[in-house]
Copies of this chain bind each other. A is one copy, B any other.
Amino acid sequence: MPRPANPETRSRLLEKGGDLVSSRGFNATGVQEITAAAGVPKGSFYNYFDSKEAFAVAVLTEYWDAVVAEFGAILNEGRTPPLSRIARYFAGLAEFHERRRYAVGCLIGNMALEVTPTSEDVRIKLAAIYREWSAALASCLREAQEKGELSAAKDPGQLAIALIDTFEGAVMRAKVERSRAPFDGFERLVLPSLLT
């Protein structure tokens, strides 16, 4: 009879396993390494996750929820002008990558490139994250238009998704160069060019 699931064990599997997946990649990380890192028997993994793929979706969900919890509020700070909020939001994300010395990258981008070819569930989850992420940015961009900070001719939805694409490209190069330079380029060149 399977043991009853323990929410703390599930959290530990997601945290320790998520660290491994973030730093080494999903396919390079085995279930046994995940359970060893979390200090639980290998077999118990399947009490919590139907498959390694289901685990990937859960890790992505945790990652995205953490990003929203840490940075989401910046986009809704009513007293700050909307375009300044956007700049602060991405500066916060850049600092997040800096703290991890650029080596890990963004789990969303990592999974997008590594896991989508082999997992439709991960691909669908990532598409949902892209939608949520761009909706949050688009809402702030719409406010910027209402306040006359941003040209009314621009489509906030398209602009939001362009900001995400350009930022993810910077994260990618930061991982290769292990440097802040791509984020400097994003802040000084890409953001001002797009947000006019």
The answer for the CA separation of A188 and B103 in the assembled complex, in Å, is 32
Whether B172 contacts A112 by the Cβ 8 Å rule is yes
Q: Which residue of B lies closest to A129 (CB)?
A: B176
Q: Does A162 contact B (CB under 8 A)?
A: yes
The verdict on A109 contacting B27 (CB below 8 Å), with A166-B165, A166-B190 known, is no
| Residues in A73-93 with C-beta less than 8 Å from chain B | none
Interface residues on A, range: 35 or more
Whether A109 contacts B113 by the Cβ 8 Å rule is yes
A147 to chain B, nearest CB (A): 20
The answer for the CA separation of A168 and B170 in the assembled complex, in Å, is 9
Residues 115-154 of A, flagged 1 when their CB comes within 8 A of B and 0 if not, give 1111000010011001000000000000000000000000
Q: Which residues of B are found within 8 Å of A165, using beta-carbon distances?
A: 166, 169-170, 172-173, 182, 185-186, 190
Q: Which residues of B are found within 8 Å of A161, using beta-carbon distances?
A: 173, 182, 185
The verdict on A112 contacting B28 (CB below 8 Å), with A185-B158, A189-B162, A194-B193 known, is no
| Residues in A160-196 with C-beta less than 8 Å from chain B | 161-162, 164-170, 172-173, 175-178, 182, 185-186, 188-190, 193-194, 196
A173 to chain B, nearest CB (A): 6
Whether B175 contacts A113 by the Cβ 8 Å rule is yes
Q: Does A72 contact B (CB under 8 A)?
A: no
| Residues in A58-111 with C-beta less than 8 Å from chain B | 103-105, 109-110
Whether B130 contacts A117 by the Cβ 8 Å rule is no
A106 to chain B, nearest CB (A): 8
The answer for the CA separation of A24 and B28 in the assembled complex, in Å, is 12
Q: Give the B-binding residues of A (Cβ under 8 A).
A: 23-25, 27-28, 103-105, 109-110, 112-118, 123, 126-127, 130, 158-159, 161-162, 164-170, 172-173, 175-178, 182, 185-186, 188-190, 193-194, 196
